Chains A and B, each alone.
Chain A
Amino acid sequence: ETGVTQSPTHLIKTRGQQVTLRCSSQSGHNTVSWYQQALGQGPQFIFQYYREEENGRGNFPPRFSGLQFPNYSSELNVNALELDDSALYLCASSLTAGSYNEQFFGPGTRLTVL
């Protein structure tokens, strides 16, 4: 059974650029959530996708957007990058949506915005 994978591992961008991060969910999981973890903080919920639809969103501006594909893999897109977007971006998959499902995390993508 393959766990959650993310690509790329590291990324360096400059202010104003756009970035796409990718996530493959664990086999059998149809729900993917994205989190942002700034240095010294806990992960912050960005949004969740369930069966290709956005299923909930945290306090992030619209320049953070996402997609989920029929195979349940997912992308996180960030437009007009700002310095404060520098963080570890974590993807988590769960068997399905709903509160009582453990979320299994990938290793993350470290984004640096210069």
Chain B
Amino acid sequence: DQQVKQNSPSLSVQEGRISILNCDYTNSMFDYFLWYKKYPAEGPTFLISISSIKDKNEDGRFTVFLNKSAKHLSLHIVPSQPGDSAVYFCAASANTGTASKLTFGTGTRLQVTL
């Protein structure tokens, strides 16, 4: 039961253009969402997060949008740079009051070309 889905395994974008990575979720209890970036042979690196009380959060070139009614979030990277080439994971958690368990999607491999 894949509660967090990233339906695009890969995405190729030209340098300087916008990259849009998408994520869908099914569990309505999720109320906190995160994006991580992963380079080969490294652990995931936290990028940006958003709580369910917001619909947008920005941090420099990265913006995350949350559409609760559609159970959909997206990560926008503007402008895209070659160093952004990595695998991006969407993750979600539910406020159970105890463990902060993250449920991850399967990732989208972003390639930024020159």
Contact = CB atoms under 8 A, between A and B. Distances in A.
Interface of A: 4, 6, 31, 33, 35, 40-45, 48, 50, 55-58, 90, 92, 94, 97-108
A90 B42 CA distance: 10
B82 to A, nearest CB: 22
Contacts of B103: 45
B93 interface: yes
Interface residues of B, number: 30
Contact of A4 (B4, B43, B94, B96): B43
Nearest to A88: B43
5 contacts: A50-B99, A58-B101, A98-B97, A99-B100, A105-B44
A46 B49 CA distance: 22
Nearest to B48: A102
Interface stretch (B13-21, B60-68, B104-112): B104-112
A100 B101 CA distance: 10
B51 interface: yes
Contacts of A57: 99
Which of A6, A35, A98 is packed against the most chain B CB atoms within 10 Å? A98
- Top 7 nearest A-B pairs by Cβ distance? A56-B99, A42-B104, A105-B43, A99-B95, A48-B99, A45-B101, A105-B44
Contacts of A41: 106
B114 interface: no
